[in-house]
Amino acid sequence: ELATALNNRGQIKYFRVEFAAAVEDYTAAIERQPGFEVPYYNRGLVLYRLGCFDEAMKDFRKVLELNPQFEDAAVSLKQAILDKEEKLNRGY
C-alpha cells in the first residue's frame, strides 16, 4: 500500500531530522489514505517538536477520532496542551 510506504519513508526522514520532508511524506500518506491514523500521529509528533502545538493537537485529535484506543496519541495530545499552556504562560 502506497500510504504505508509513504509513512515509512517519512519515518526515515524523521529519524534523519529532515522534518519538512517527513511532514511532506506523512501528508502524502494522509491524502492517499485519509482513514490511516498512523501518519497523522507521526506528522503530529514532528509538528510538536517544531513547536507548532495547535497543528500537532489537530493531528492528535484526528488520530483519536479515527482510533480512540490509540494511547500514544492521547498522551501526546495531553503533553501538547500542557506545553502550549506553558509557552503562553511564559509569554512566548
pLDDT digits (tens, 9 = 90+) for 38-91: 999 999 999 999 999 999 999 999 999 999 999 999 999 999 999 999 988 988
Parse the chain into domains and list their residue ranges: 3-90
pTM of model > 0.75: yes
The 3-state secondary structure of 22-88 reads HHHHHHHHHHHCCCCHHHHHHHHHHHHHCCCHHHHHHHHHHHHHHCCCCHHHHHHHHHHHHHHHHHH
Judged against a pLDDT cut of 80, whether residue 29 lies above it is answered with yes
If one looks up domain 3-90 in CATH, what number appears? Answer: 1.25.40.10
**pLDDT at residue 77, as a whole number:** 98
